[in-house]
Amino acid sequence: MRPLVFEKDPSFWYETLRVLGHIAYGGADFGEVAVTVERVAEGDRDGWHDAWRATADRVAAEARRSHAAGHRVSAHDAFLRASTYHRSAGFFLHGDTAGPHGDTAGPRADAAHDEAVACFRAAAELSDLDIRPVEIPYGSTTLPGYLYRAGDGPGPVVVMHNGFDGSAEEMHFFAAEAMVRRGYHVLTFDGPGQPGPMRREGLVFRPDWENVVGPVLDFLLDRPAGEAIADPGRVALLGASMGGLLAPRAAAFEPRIAALIAFDGVYDMGWKVTAVFDGDREAARAALALPEADDAMAALMAADPVTRWAVVHGMRVMGASTPRGYAAALLDYHLRDGVAERITCPTLVCSAAGDFAFAGQPEALYEHLTCDKTFAEFTAEEGADAHCQSGAQRLAMARIGDWLDTTFGSMR
């Protein structure tokens, strides 16, 4: 899809498209997005924050006025949109160290996240859907999430999570509402490295994602008889973006998962790193152990603002102290060495033809699967070729929902 704005800044265009895509499930309005991005110059990350924050504050204030006057539907709708706009306001601050306003990026990014969560929870309380915030036991702490009930009694459930930079709240627009409307209970959560646990306690990503999903499934399935909501034989797991690697990793070692959706599929997070070394993983590890590797990383970051954002954000969420440490950490996130082949449940691998982040990765995952598998490619002609089909959520959810209906229908 040709950029409609920010033609010279692919990251700003994609994040705009990401917000536009959330219109499909009430997370944005076209006019509000259009007038916001008109105020932003390409590459101006502080201007991006300020413009989106202004829109978010205005829409949230309107939501509060509607709520105070007893207009529940209007308040709900505005709180949902404000949640998206606050999330977007903080997005590029993840890769900054300081802003021009005399503050640091951290407090501004944290404030944007906190406001996004608060607005989403306000919307959830006013929703015609049954959406309940939950805290899922995880070691000595908890993981934040939301339980959506599609009706009374046990039934099929879709457990879902986001990826490298998205939140459980955003999953409402990517997949949660779409699945609830189709009759599925839904459980969303933020795992280590994702916004809730990362900001609250500094929990960083871990490659053995089955040890994250396991406690989530315990919370879902080990409930008193009168509170049971899940049909244990029909529990699906959906992972978005980097979640398209994490969810398959969990499914490879977690037999309670009955169906898997990689949205979109990822086989190896370290593929760009190893490509520099002709695919030699050990050579890559050896080179990244040397301090001078940071010089090479610095050059890449200086040449490409998208890379700079990814590395600085990645250092934080991966728990790496240096750019080379982040690159080395990526080498641990893969489905190689027979991991993909361990997946036994029916699996849907989604692929976006124009994906800027993971081109070729869905195909690699699909090739290595030995289970019952389906490949769903989304194209430019459909307006669906962007990463995670941003801008085409209704189309993506139709295909994912139909696949899941068919897959679980055959299990009855």
CATH classification of the domain holding 99: 1.20.1440.110
Question: Residue 2: inside a domain, yes or no?
Answer: no
Between residues 199 and 401, which one has the greater pLDDT?
A: 401
Q: Do 32 and 96 sit in the same domain of this protein?
A: yes
User: Which of 107, 126, 145 finishes a domain?
Assistant: 126
- Is residue 295 predicted with pLDDT exceeding 60? yes
Alpha helix stretches (DSSP H) within 91-209: 105-126, 171, 177-181, 195-201
- Is residue 208 predicted with pLDDT exceeding 70? yes
pLDDT for position 202: 92
Going by pLDDT thresholds of 50, 70 and 90, the confidence category of residue 101 is very low
Going by pLDDT thresholds of 50, 70 and 90, the confidence category of residue 412 is low
As a whole number, mean pLDDT of residues 221-246 equals: 93
- Is residue 139 predicted with pLDDT exceeding 90? yes
pLDDT for position 100: 42
Going by pLDDT thresholds of 50, 70 and 90, the confidence category of residue 63 is very high
Q: How many domains is the chain built from?
A: 3
pLDDT for position 105: 53
- Residue 241 designated active-site: yes
- Is residue 95 predicted with pLDDT exceeding 60? no
pLDDT for position 94: 67
Q: Do 215 and 301 sit in the same domain of this protein?
A: no
As a whole number, mean pLDDT of residues 323-344 equals: 97
| pLDDT tens for each residue of 338-363 | 999 999 999 999 999 999 889 999 99
Question: Residue 143: inside a domain, yes or no?
Answer: yes
Structure tokens at 193: 């490295």
For residue 313, the enclosing domain spans: 271-330
pLDDT for position 308: 87
pLDDT for position 306: 83
Q: Do 359 and 259 sit in the same domain of this protein?
A: yes
Q: Do 108 and 23 sit in the same domain of this protein?
A: yes
pLDDT for position 276: 86
Task: Tell me if the bond preceding 278 is cis, omega within 30° of 0.
Answer: no
Alpha helix stretches (DSSP H) within 159-278: 171, 177-181, 195-201, 210-221, 243-253, 271-275
Each residue of 303-316: b (16+ CB within 10 Å) or e?
eebbbbbbbbbbbb
| pLDDT tens for each residue of 156-193 | 999 999 999 999 999 999 999 999 999 999 999 999 99
Question: Residue 1: inside a domain, yes or no?
Answer: no
Catalytic hit among 241, 351, 390, 410: 241
Give yes or no for a contact between 60 and 123, defined as CB atoms under 8 angstroms apart. Answer: no
- Is residue 225 predicted with pLDDT exceeding 90? no
CA distance 23 to 7: 22
As a whole number, mean pLDDT of residues 139-144 equals: 97
